[in-house]
Amino acid sequence: NAGVTQTPKFRILKIGQSMTLQCTQDMNHNYMYWYRQDPGMGLKLIYYSVGAGITDKGEVPNGYNVSRSTTEDFPLRLELAAPSQTSVYFCATSRGGQPQHFGDGTRLSIL
């Protein structure tokens, strides 16, 4: 039982490049979330989804896009990478009202 799987684990991008961070879950949870965590800081919500086909913005959505075509997958897209997007990105899932379970994160550096 894998839980929440994020790929890749590490990535270096050049300014202006684009990429997709993958998140897959096998827990059949309806709710999925993307967070970023900057050094020495807590987690900030980028986007979330309460089910397939439904997404909504969190605290810091600018520069990112998401889609949710299936229950299992919730990819996060960076279209034009900027140095300010250097961070560790966490995907999480939950059943509504229950604790969120986190993936191991993607460490992204933009140079």
Partner 1 sequence: EDKVVQSPLSLVVHEGDTVTLNCSYEVTNFRSLLWYKQEKKAPTFLFMLTSSGIEKKSGRLSSILDKKELFSILNITATQTGDSAIYLCAGSKETSGSRLTFGEGTQLTVNP
Query: Is 89 one of the binding residues for partner 1 (CB under 8 A)?
Result: no
| Residue among 43, 66, 76, 110 that touches partner 1 (CB under 8 A) | 43
Place of tokens 């810091």: 60
3-state secondary structure of 88: strand
Sign of the dihedral defined by the CA atoms of residues 58, 62, 63, 68, in that order: positive
Query: Is 64 one of the binding residues for partner 1 (CB under 8 A)?
Result: no
Q: Which of 44, 54, 7, 50 is nearest to 29 (CA)?
A: 50
Which residue lies nearer to partner 1 by CB, 17 or 21?
21
**Residues forming the site for partner 1 (CB under 8 A):** 31, 33, 35, 40-45, 48-50, 56, 58-59, 90, 94, 96-105
